[in-house]
Amino acid sequence: MRGATWEFRIKLMAIEMDSKYDPVTSEKEVYDLWEKSGLFAPEKCEEIGLVKKENGVFSIILPPPNVTGTLHMGHAAMLAIEDVLVRYARMSGKKTLWVPGTDHAAIATQSKVESLIYKAEGKNRHDLGREEFLKRVDQFAKESHDTIVNQIKKMGASVDWNREAFTLDEKRNTAVKTAFKKMYDTGLIYRDFKVINWDPKGQTTVSDDEVVYEERDAKLYTFKYSKDFPISISTTRPETKLGDTAVAVHPDDERYKQYVGKTYEVNFVGTPLTIKIIADHAVEKDFGTGALGVTPAHSQIDWDMAQAHNLELKPVINEYAKMSVGGPEIQGKKTTVAREVIVELLRKDGLLEKEEDVKQNISVAERTGGIIEPLPKLQWFIDVNKKFVLPESKISGLPSGSETSLKEIMKKAVEGGQIEILPGRFEKIYYNWIDNLRDWCISRQIWYGHRIPVWYKDEKIAVGETPKESGDLPSSAEATEGWQQDPDTLDTWFSSGLWTFSTLGWPEKTSDLETYHPTSVLETGYDILFFWVARMILMTGFLLGDVPFRTVYLHGLVRDEKGRKMSKSLGNAIDPLLMSEKYGADATRLSLIIGAAPGNDMKLSEDKVRGYRNFSTKIWNAARFVLMNKAENYESAKLSEEQEKYLAEFESTKKEIAEHIDKFELHLAGEKAYHYFWHTFADIIIEAEKGKLKDGTQEEKAAAYKTLEAILLGSLKVLHPFVPFVTEAVWQKIRPEELLLGTNWD
């Protein structure tokens, strides 16, 4: 590439090739050079002739990091993997686009800011008010965004910064409102009173996929409600039994058949209950006594039973995980305290039959750590089973005009082969998740995020954004005249589910959307296969009648050298930026690529990163040796049979590396490129030609240099996707009139 970046090369060209490579200084200069060249944008690549129309398009959307802090090793692995794919595609002549962005991460960001404010001022968000609090959150998000962008650049990511997006910016807000309105009008979004996952610590609902399970010690209590009740029940949560309206037994359990259909009035620790005996196949005969106390208001399973058997709903726990019923020794107490009180009362009345130590999986909110309480609340949901007509469709097995459901869309997209999940073993997990998927609760009781686009006035409801007359959505001027917007915000994954196409201009029909969608690859961690990947397939299928991407590449978790998950509490987290400052971004990237097969967790230590710094040094030193021995008029030199064999072997290796990348075997491609350069080129070929460069005839010296330069230049291209900084820095010493970034792979 000539002309456009020449002025930025003068400084680099004036620098002699130092005896030692300094990644800290060089990497910043190189990234600045790349940015100023404009070659991260596909339009600029077209301008210089790098794009070959017949080679097609490659597009990828960066999974947006949360604006809650700094990048960790998982992010670094993601950036390294995606940058390998992008640089290889760009050099292969494909019209290549990599769109960057960040995620507002509603619950996580709000919790973080609330914590900071309380620590500094002793105030909560309600003390500040919604408007002032959101100003604080926006400021925090802006500062965090700037930090993250700087870190992404330090890792060498060749994203098109001109197309950067934010999940809460104006364009994404338009996309969210458009999607909500369309789903509401189709009947897929509805509001209902149901049992949901409530986070007492975060004071909001969370979806099933945002609940994690922690094994803890617990007690299993077996008791009767009263002395005259005929059946004993077992539970780990006696406090919830104040809300029982039935006891369920298995239909085939002979022990209890005589009681099915009967109703009993009991006094349970001072609280009157009406208990109906029902038969339901959901009951496990061999667990406890084989009889289950049904608490419809505080259990999703029990809620389902209540719907099937027309049982009363009786809430007994409030949003703060405190008892809302019971005697003075119970009401108003935390559930854990009430549990001990109730057990003691049962023991005192001779109703407690058995106590057993057991292990129990406790439901915990992933973002806040709060213990989940199932509570009945009025919320917004997406119906995943409802049938609707898909007007236009490119999804295999779902022709335009066919009747389908969101669940079916998610299945067909993968079953039909339009989306390949790598590694393939995750497909079974994906299908199993879909089979067990409940309606998606999308409303959150927080302030930061996309406000639900619904307004209420008396008995009227308005959905959308366009002002209309006679009770529909008000204009901003009318908003004060009795209309109230829903105070809740949308689940973060609602806006993230639109990411592949909202970043390309949807709901407008843009040239970017036409050219780059569906995207080529979605690369992300296997731990958010359900949070994000499945929801993008759901949203794209409904709104565009298409798939969001062709391939899902799932990387594993980055663990410490002992295989433990990295965390602040363990003190074993490795900072990718610190590693880059000490050993270079190239070394950090390569340590995250080699040895990391798709879907497999990888062990990482500082020693591994340090080892790959030596590779950058090896590249620099090998190139320096070759350039220091440059021969005159070498272009026309005739190569020996052995030298021709070296070149042929390199081309064969290059082809194998390309095949590995094409098959997403980046760990194998990186390893082969690494070993070829170090152990074949540096250790064998350079050593074999060294004597000719020093003591050979002019013809032998020219042939030797021609051979070494050809393999060096080819190796720099092959290695560039993996270690872009050092390869570009070396390339500038040989071909200062062009960027390695903008050269063709072949």
pLDDT digits (tens, 9 = 90+) for 2-44: 333 433 343 343 336 788 899 988 999 999 999 999 999 999 9
> pLDDT tens for residues 658-700?
999 999 999 999 999 999 999 999 999 999 999 999 999 999 9
Where are the domain boundaries for CATH 1.10.730.10 in the chain?
Answer: 606-742
Residue with tokens 């991407």: 549
Q: Compute the distance between CA of residue 603 and CA of residue 519 in angstroms, rounded to an integer.
A: 30
pLDDT the model gives residue 71: 85
| Of 198, 190, 193, nearest in space to 454 by CA | 190
Give the length of the chain: 746
| Residue 1 pLDDT grade (very low, low, confident, very high; cuts 50, 70, 90) | very low
One-letter amino acid of 732 = Q
- Using alpha carbons, list the distances in angstroms from residue 222 to 288, 355, 587: 8, 7, 59
pLDDT the model gives residue 415: 95
Q: What is the mean pLDDT of the chain?
A: 92
Residue 231 has pLDDT above 80, yes or no: yes
| Of 608, 717, 539, nearest in space to 87 by CA | 717
For the segment 210-216, the average pLDDT, to the nearest whole number, is: 89
Query: Percent of the chain, pLDDT > 70?
Result: 95
Say whether 554 sits in a helix, a strand or coil.
strand
Q: Output the CA angle 479-172-577, nearest 5 degrees.
A: 130
Q: Compute the distance between CA of residue 108 and CA of residue 143 in angstroms, rounded to an integer.
A: 16
| Residue 519 pLDDT grade (very low, low, confident, very high; cuts 50, 70, 90) | very high
One-letter amino acid of 549 = F
pLDDT the model gives residue 13: 39
Flag the least confident range among 16-20, 198-202, 259-263: 16-20
Q: Compute the distance between CA of residue 27 and CA of residue 153 in angstroms, rounded to an integer.
A: 10
For the segment 66-88, the average pLDDT, to the nearest whole number, is: 92
pLDDT the model gives residue 373: 95
244: its two tokens:
């029982």
217-235 CB burial, b ≥16 within 10 A, e <16: eeeebbbbbbeebebbbbb
pLDDT the model gives residue 8: 39
Q: Compute the distance between CA of residue 138 and CA of residue 708 in angstroms, rounded to an integer.
A: 55
Residue 474 has pLDDT above 60, yes or no: no
Residue 145 has pLDDT above 60, yes or no: yes
Q: Compute the distance between CA of residue 675 and CA of residue 682 in angstroms, rounded to an integer.
A: 10
In 587-700, the DSSP E strands lie at 602-603
606-742 sits in which CATH class? mainly alpha
| Of 629, 652, 655, 654, nearest in space to 707 by CA | 629
pLDDT the model gives residue 568: 67
CB atoms within 10 A of CB 603: 14
For the segment 642-655, the average pLDDT, to the nearest whole number, is: 98
Q: Compute the distance between CA of residue 309 and CA of residue 660 in angstroms, rounded to an integer.
A: 57
Answer with the residue of higher pLDDT: 236 or 570. 236
Residue 464 has pLDDT above 90, yes or no: no
386: its two tokens:
């409802």
For the segment 78-95, the average pLDDT, to the nearest whole number, is: 97
DSSP state of 676: I
The whole-model pTM stands at: 0.90
Does residue 331 contact residue 323 with C-beta atoms inside 8 Å?
yes
208-375 domain in CATH 3.90.740.10? yes
One-letter amino acid of 205 = T
> pLDDT tens for residues 298-350?
999 999 999 999 999 999 999 999 999 999 999 999 999 999 999 999 999 99
Residue 627 has pLDDT above 80, yes or no: yes
Say whether 162 sits in a helix, a strand or coil.
helix
Helix axes 698-719, 666-675, angle to 10 degrees: 160
DSSP state of 475: P
Q: Compute the distance between CA of residue 487 and CA of residue 478 in angstroms, rounded to an integer.
A: 18
Where are the domain boundaries for CATH 3.90.740.10 in the chain?
Answer: 208-375
Which residues are paired to 215 by β-bridges? 361
| Of 678, 677, 684, 704, nearest in space to 693 by CA | 704
Q: Compute the distance between CA of residue 163 and CA of residue 61 in angstroms, rounded to an integer.
A: 10
pLDDT the model gives residue 209: 77
pLDDT the model gives residue 288: 84
| Residue 567 pLDDT grade (very low, low, confident, very high; cuts 50, 70, 90) | confident
| Residue 569 pLDDT grade (very low, low, confident, very high; cuts 50, 70, 90) | low
Residue with tokens 């790098």: 50
Which residues, including other chains, have CB under 8 Å from residue 64's CB and lie 6 or more apart?
101, 102, 103, 165, 166, 167, 496, 499
| Residue 191 pLDDT grade (very low, low, confident, very high; cuts 50, 70, 90) | very high
126: its two tokens:
């309600």
pLDDT the model gives residue 14: 36
- Using alpha carbons, list the distances in angstroms from residue 654 to 56, 673, 724, 746: 21, 8, 17, 9
Does residue 303 contact residue 288 with C-beta atoms inside 8 Å?
no
Residue with tokens 């002992």: 562
Pairing of strands 402-404, 291-294: unpaired
Residue 468 has pLDDT above 80, yes or no: no
